[in-house]
């Protein structure tokens, strides 16, 4: 079956009420028909729900759908994307292990690696996204247990060649753990390219309408079982309500991504061609430094466009003031277009040299392109680019 059909037709078993749409199982626990059944469920000789920290029908449905979309053996859902990222590391790494990570990481993933895992004697080495195979290989040590990365990255839209890392994985035996949040399983399936785990902030495109938080890790059954043990006993569980929302949203993920990507490409082209925009970055623009890799690894460029405006924060302020449609928010992956200045918000806590290494400049703007009519978006962004250029010129004069 095609992904569209799987996302729509994978469903929790119907109850005796014969409902068409899956009901919300808003229950913290489940009853046992007998003492024997309680014993069997805890001994795991019988499969079934016990307590919603361990499993819940809505959560299971959401996990089953993502596994189908990612071609993964098993999965575990969590309350947020960061809980998924953290659980995938904390469950599988131990003191003395080493993690090789791509330098271009979401801010909180960077904090987990540098400030939290380090307290438990887990060391790390950062590698640039565009590093060659030899440079990635040079970072691997005998104690390297995991390679972790995002592709495309937030907010610099740098790509990592997954097939190349899968080759190194075969040689060195590390766990290849990929944050697939920006691409979604619709545009890229890391497991098909050799990754062991694919993690998501479901808060983003999986929900797609900015309503609920959620996260998920899917991949190799033996690894997911260890993450499940960790999650069962530490409790970062996804709520049934959020799982219900997310599972329903997956039914339209393919449709939404098609429009998101079409809008993003057209907006990127318009901004790239504008003389008052220093730089527009989008994986499917031929000017993107990793355009060939993007074409090989992804079926479309995603819905994030980053632009660089001259004039620093003053220009950003004038630009944001002039925009009439987009929302100013630090979130992304919404039906509503959102703009963010990473330097002063999502990546504000990075040190100056860390920002420089990631290309996070004062005039960088991340655009999460929504589902509005593209004509309206292009017109609004164009007038704001021009108006803000004028405002900054007047300030200088």
Ligand X SMILES: Cc1ncc(COP(=O)(O)O)c(C=O)c1O
Q: Which residues bind ligand X (CB under 6 A)?
A: 80-82, 85, 106, 150, 154, 179, 181-182, 201, 203, 213, 215
Q: Which residue is nearest to ligand X, using beta carbons?
A: 81
Between residues 181 and 193, which has the closer beta carbon with respect to ligand X?
181
> How many C-beta atoms lie closer than 10 Å to residue 184's C-beta?
30
Three-state secondary structure along 295-350?
HHHCCCCCCEEEEECCCHHHHHHHHHHHCCCCEECCCCCCCCCEEECHHHCCCCCC
Q: Please provide the size of the chain in residues.
A: 397
Place of tokens 């260890």: 226
Residue 345 Cβ vs ligand X, minimum distance, rounded to whole Å: 12
At 156, list the tokens: 């610099």
Q: Which is closer to ligand X, CB of 290 or CB of 388? A: 290
**What is the closest distance, in whole angstroms, from the C-beta atom of residue 20 to ligand X in the complex?**
30
Q: How far is the CB of 302 from ligand X (least distance, A)?
A: 11
Q: What share of the chain is helix, strand, coil (3-state, %, to 5)?
A: 45, 15, 40
In angstroms, the CA 230 to CA 97 distance is 18
Query: Smallest distance from the beta carbon of 161 to ligand X, in angstroms?
Result: 18
Burial (Cβ within 10 Å: 0-12, 13-18, ≥19) of residue 119: exposed
Nearer to ligand X, 82 or 303 (CB): 82
187 vs 322 by CB, closer to ligand X: 187
- CB 95 → ligand X: shortest distance, Å? 25
Helices (H) and strands (E) in the chain, counts: 15, 12
Of residues 126 and 182, the one with the C-beta less far from ligand X: 182
Please, which residue, 60 or 80, has the CB nearer to ligand X? 80
* Shortest distance, position 92 Cβ to ligand X, whole Å: 17
């Amino acid at each position: 079956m095609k992904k569209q059909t799987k996302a729509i037709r994978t469903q929790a078993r119907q109850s005796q009420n014969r409902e068409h749409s899956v009901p919300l199982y808003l229950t913290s626990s489940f009853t046992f028909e007998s003492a024997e059944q309680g014993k069997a469920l805890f001994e795991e000789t019988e499969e079934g729900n016990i307590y919603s920290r361990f499993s819940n029908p809505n959560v299971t449905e959401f996990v089953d759908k993502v596994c189908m979309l990612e071609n993964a053996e098993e999965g575990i859902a969590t309350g947020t994307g960061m809980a998924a990222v953290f659980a995938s590391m904390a469950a599988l790494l131990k003191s003395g292990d080493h993690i090789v990570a791509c330098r271009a990481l979401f801010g909180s993933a960077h904090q987990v690696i540098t400030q939290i895992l380090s307290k438990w004697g887990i060391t790390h080495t950062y590698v640039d996204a565009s590093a060659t195979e030899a440079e990635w290989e040079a970072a691997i040590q005998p104690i390297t247990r995991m390679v972790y990365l995002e592709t495309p990255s937030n907010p610099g839209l740098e790509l990592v060649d997954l097939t190349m890392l899968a080759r190194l994985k075969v040689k060195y035996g590390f766990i290849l753990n990929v944050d697939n949040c920006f691409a979604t399983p619709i545009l890229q399936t890391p497991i098909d390219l050799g990754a062991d785990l694919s993690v998501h902030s479901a808060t983003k495109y999986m929900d797609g309408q900015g309503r609920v938080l959620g996260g998920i890790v899917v991949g190799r059954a033996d690894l997911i079982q260890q993450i499940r043990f960790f999650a069962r006993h530490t409790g970062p569980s996804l709520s049934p309500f959020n799982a219900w929302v997310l599972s329903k949203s997956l039914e339209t993920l393919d449709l939404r991504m098609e429009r998101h990507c079409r809008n993003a490409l057209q907006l990127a082209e318009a901004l790239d061609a504008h003389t008052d925009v220093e730089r527009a970055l989008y994986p499917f623009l031929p000017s993107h430094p990793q355009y060939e890799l993007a074409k090989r690894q992804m079926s479309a460029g995603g819905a994030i466009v980053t632009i660089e405006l001259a004039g620093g924060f003053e220009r950003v302020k004038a630009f944001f003031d002039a925009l009439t449609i987009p929302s100013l928010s630090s979130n992304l992956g919404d039906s509503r277009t959102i703009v963010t200045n990473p330097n002063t918000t999502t990546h504000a806590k990075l040190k100056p040299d860390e920002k420089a290494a990631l290309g996070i400049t004062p005039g960088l703007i991340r655009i999460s392109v929504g589902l509005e009519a593209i004509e309206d978006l292009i017109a609004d962004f164009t007038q704001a680019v021009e108006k803000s250029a004028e405002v900054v010129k007047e300030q200088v004069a």
